[in-house]
Amino acid sequence: MPAEPANATAAGPTALAGVPREVGVAKPDPVVVADGVVRRFGGVTAVDVGHVEFQRGAITALIGPNGAGKTTFFNLLSCFDQPQEGTWSFNGEPLRGVVPHQVARRGMVRTFQLTKVLSKLTVIENMRLGATAQRGERFLSSLLKPLWAAQEAEVTARADELLVRFKLDHMREEFAASLSGGQRKLLEMARALMTDPELIMLDEPMAGVNPALKQSLLGHVKALRDEGRSVIFVEHDMDMVFDISDWVVVMAEGRIIAEGPPADVGANPAVIDAYLGTHHDRDLAPDLGGGGTS
């Protein structure tokens, strides 16, 4: 478990109260800091982020119209892709040039927009895979079951708890391929939690999840913050963004154009403008009396 969950409960979000609402603003206790990150694909500049900090112990949403570079930025931060320029760090340690699995081992774990479940493994095996530092995953010690059987039982117990929490326990022995799109999202998130991450990065966790499940998923994400973890997520579902995020970072055309608490960002003309380009029909700030439906 991450350090001092009790103290951290409200520290992350409340610490953001006095932070100015301007792009690139310094946070009181940043967990991830990115500086001058530029990623070009041929002539297209997909990401060009000047400076951005993500607060520890808070839920930060990364929003923006399609093609804004959110997922690319995610890939860069988690080292699944390399930028042409820039530096970024996690817990003060620079991440440039680090291989993806090392990033994950340091406690920064991500999920994918297009889910990557392991189809021919059962749901419980998917979960078990997530556990870190398993003795049985080393070649020689894997040959002797007594060396890893006890740890395997612990891992399974933890996996079963998470499966109950994510309402997947009835699918425990099914192949992951037989899950629906929404269930796959849940499985991927639960599997990422098996690594006990300090920071979890969710790429569109709500896409394809049915409304009933959405509510419980929102609860799970909030619970992660309450356990002291940091969450960064990319999402198009504005209800979710306004409901659970402590801070919103808005991207458009590769750049960060605004950041601030959800209410402020929703009222920001630059943000409305950026979204209007592609989402005329999207209700940006349903909770702000702007003709919202929720």
Q: Which residues bind another protein (CB under 8 A)?
A: 78, 80, 100-102, 104-105, 109-112, 116-121, 125-126, 128-130, 132, 134-139, 142-143, 145, 148, 152, 175, 177-178, 188, 191-192, 194-195
Q: Give the residue with the Cβ less far from another protein, 94 or 181.
A: 181
CB of 287 to another protein, least distance (A): 33
| Two tokens, residue 81 | 């892709």
Q: Give the residue with the Cβ less far from another protein, 55 or 115.
A: 115
CA dihedral 200, 284, 72, 38 (to 10 degrees): -110
CB of 51 to another protein, least distance (A): 26
| Two tokens, residue 271 | 């943000």
Q: Can you tell me the distance from the alpha carbon of 203 to that of 16, in angstroms, rounded to the nearest whole number?
A: 23
E-state strands within the chain? 30-41, 44-55, 59-63, 85-90, 93-94, 108-110, 199-203, 230-234, 247-252, 255-260
| Two tokens, residue 138 | 């080393």
Q: Give the residue with the Cβ less far from another protein, 104 or 256.
A: 104
Q: Give the residue with the Cβ less far from another protein, 10 or 114.
A: 114
CB of 80 to another protein, least distance (A): 7
Q: Can you tell me the distance from the alpha carbon of 176 to that of 121, in angstroms, rounded to the nearest whole number?
A: 6
CB of 78 to another protein, least distance (A): 7
Contact 247, 20 (CB under 8 A): no
Entry field: residues in the chain: 294
| Two tokens, residue 70 | 């959110």
Query: What is the gyration radius of the CA atoms in the chain, in angstroms?
Result: 19
Contact 263, 51 (CB under 8 A): no
CB of 210 to another protein, least distance (A): 19
CB of 9 to another protein, least distance (A): 27
The residue to which tokens 């990115």 are assigned: 34
Q: Give the residue with the Cβ less far from another protein, 100 or 292.
A: 100
Contact 201, 74 (CB under 8 A): yes
Q: Give the residue with the Cβ less far from another protein, 193 or 258.
A: 193
CB of 54 to another protein, least distance (A): 18
Q: Give the residue with the Cβ less far from another protein, 32 or 274.
A: 32
DSSP state letter for 175: B
| Two tokens, residue 203 | 């790429």
Q: Which has the closest alpha carbon to 282: 81, 131, 63?
A: 63
